[in-house]
Amino acid sequence: MCTVGLILQQHPTYPLIVAANRDESTDRPSLAPLRWTDQPIPFVGGRDVIAGGTWMGFSDAGVLIALTNLWVGDFRKKRPRSRGAVVSALLAAGTLDEAAARLSTISTTDRGPFNLICADTTGRAFTACSADGLAPRWLSPGCHAVSNLAPGTPWAKTDAVRSGLSRWHEADDLTAHLTAVLATHIGRRDPQHSVCVHTPMSYGTVSSTILLTGGTAPSVLRYCGGPPCVTPMRDCSALLPSA
């Protein structure tokens, strides 16, 4: 992913709400969310066809792990190991606390730099940045956003996501509101400014995911395989273990 927004312990029905855009080369093939049943704990997530990993997964144990590229140093340099394998490795932990404990086992020297976003269905969550040694930074209840800069770095993109998420209570249709947040265009709509990215190169927002989970109501998963400003969301909730 390249922008991940969270609403933690604020909504009366869903303790965990996730709205995320994946920005990537439009020529890089990927699969829509599917069930990864060959894992220690099955999870739902997309699949990068080239490297075989995923950018975000939600496990049958109720743990969500997402990853964004981090724009520091020579972040475009190719590395021998895929960042996407980090997601599946942490989803095998089973609990959020165990995932935090396993951060020390994740190698960062042979992978490109990245941010992690980790949460569970109770609305507990932490972020971790490979540039900071993957030390977990636990988040307070409320609205949060992480993108390609280190967590906590001021940025118009993440400010726009947090601002949009904070108005969830004004929406008659929560998923429509979250989609509109993900479809936000700022400035020239390029990766430095916009939530929904469009560039003249073969790069931009290639998919969006919305997850509503926790509590007693059935979990909801929405996905679109293109920019959310022009691509309809489709219901993938049947993939979730509570469906």
CATH class given for the domain over 3-239: alpha beta
pLDDT, tens digit, 9 for 90 and up, residues 82-139? 888 999 999 999 999 999 999 999 988 888 899 999 999 999 999 999 999 999 999 9
Q: What is the pLDDT of residue 84?
A: 86
The rounded distance, in Å, linking the Cα atoms of 22 and 58 is 16
Q: What is the pLDDT of residue 80?
A: 46
Query: Model pTM?
Result: 0.95
Q: What is the pLDDT of residue 87?
A: 97
Burial class of residue 26 in the structure, from the number of CB atoms within 10 Å of its CB (0-12 exposed, 13-18 middle, 19+ buried) = middle
Residues of the chain with pLDDT under 50: 80
Beta strand ranges found along the chain (DSSP E)? 3-8, 16-25, 30-36, 43-48, 56-59, 63-69, 114-120, 125-129, 137-138, 142-146, 203-213, 220-224, 234-235
Round the CA-based radius of gyration of the chain to a whole number and report it: 16
Q: What is the pLDDT of residue 10?
A: 98
Distances (CA, A) of 221 to 39, 175, 224: 20, 9, 10
Q: Can you tell me which residue has the tokens 């020579």?
A: 74
Q: Can you tell me which residue has the tokens 């969006």?
A: 208
Q: What is the pLDDT of residue 189?
A: 66
Q: What is the pLDDT of residue 110?
A: 85
Please answer whether residues 6 and 143 qualify as being in contact, where contact means their C-beta atoms are separated by less than 8 angstroms: yes
Q: What is the pLDDT of residue 4?
A: 98
> Dihedrals φ, ψ of 176, to 5°?
-65, -40
Please answer whether residues 11 and 191 qualify as being in contact, where contact means their C-beta atoms are separated by less than 8 angstroms: no
Q: What is the pLDDT of residue 78?
A: 67
Q: What is the pLDDT of residue 140?
A: 98
Task: Break the chain into its structural domains and give their ranges.
Answer: 3-239
